[in-house]
Amino acid sequence: SGGSESDFGFKANGSDAITRDFIIRNLGSGLLAGIEIPTTLGSSFSVDPLSQVPPRLDPGEEFTVRVIYDLPEWVTGSSFSDGNLQIHSTDANTPLFHVDLSGTGGTAAQGAGRAFSDAGLSGADAAPDATPFNDGVENLLKYAFNMDLSGPDVSQLQPGGSSGLPSGGLVEEGGETVFRVEFIRRKHSGLSYIPRKSGTLEPGAVEPMAGAVTVEDIDGQWERVTVDEPCDAATEYRCFSVV
């Protein structure tokens, strides 16, 4: 067909730009020539200048265009953006293929509130610190760790998983014992995730973890973070963590 659409989702004001890759492929049996793609796609969308657009594609060939969604610095409140990715070519049936682009910006609180509303929560049940299903897990934690906002959820993140409350424990890594904390992080949300540790459960005794950090991409909205903190069992008898 001559068109499609792509929603870039929510981006908190001041967060990193959202990028999405589009693959243009010649599935036909003839030459596709005269390929042109405008670089400016709207006030908030643009083509990555590093994207290389070839003038022609033989059958079976393809190339990738990276589109960037970012908001002007003057945008501070909730906003909706739209744009249009236009692909011109000598395709006899579809000389102009277009992809309608959209995205929503706002504060971190507005992004969370939007997710609470989408999950069917309202009134006092939609507060960040509310536990509408009496499971002990606040809405904000479910939002931050990719958990179910529409029902009870007390799941804990499993190694290599993509949802659940943070997990922590001792593991052997490279011949040494480390205290490993693993958690899910929502991209472009405006939320701050700070893993901390302590040798006691006393309030105020926690300190930021300073170990090696590994970030694994899950998809366009989520990533998995692992922090490995060296732990000397001879001197550290207990270790607690919180994110």
Give the pairing of strands 3-12 and 96-106: parallel
Average pLDDT, the chain: 91
Give me 212's structure tokens.
């090696």
Using DSSP's 3-state secondary structure scheme, residue 233 falls into coil
Give me 171's structure tokens.
């593991």
Q: How far does CA 226 lie from the centroid of its chain? A: 16
For residues 214 and 216, give the distance between their C-alpha atoms in angstroms, rounded to a whole number.
Answer: 7
**pLDDT tens per residue across span 79-136:** 888 999 999 999 988 899 999 999 999 999 999 999 999 999 999 999 999 999 999 9
CB 85 within 8 A of CB 99: yes
**pLDDT tens per residue across span 30-86:** 999 999 999 888 889 999 999 999 999 999 999 999 999 998 765 666 788 899 999
Check residue 93 and give its pLDDT. 86
Specify the pTM: 0.83
For residues 196 and 34, give the distance between their C-alpha atoms in angstroms, rounded to a whole number.
Answer: 55
Give the pairing of strands 56-57 and 222-230: unpaired
Check residue 215 and give its pLDDT. 97
For residues 222 and 50, give the distance between their C-alpha atoms in angstroms, rounded to a whole number.
Answer: 24
How much is the average pLDDT of 132-157? 98
- 163, pLDDT greater than 80: yes
For residues 233 and 201, give the distance between their C-alpha atoms in angstroms, rounded to a whole number.
Answer: 18
How much is the average pLDDT of 141-153? 98
- 2, pLDDT greater than 80: no
Check residue 198 and give its pLDDT. 87
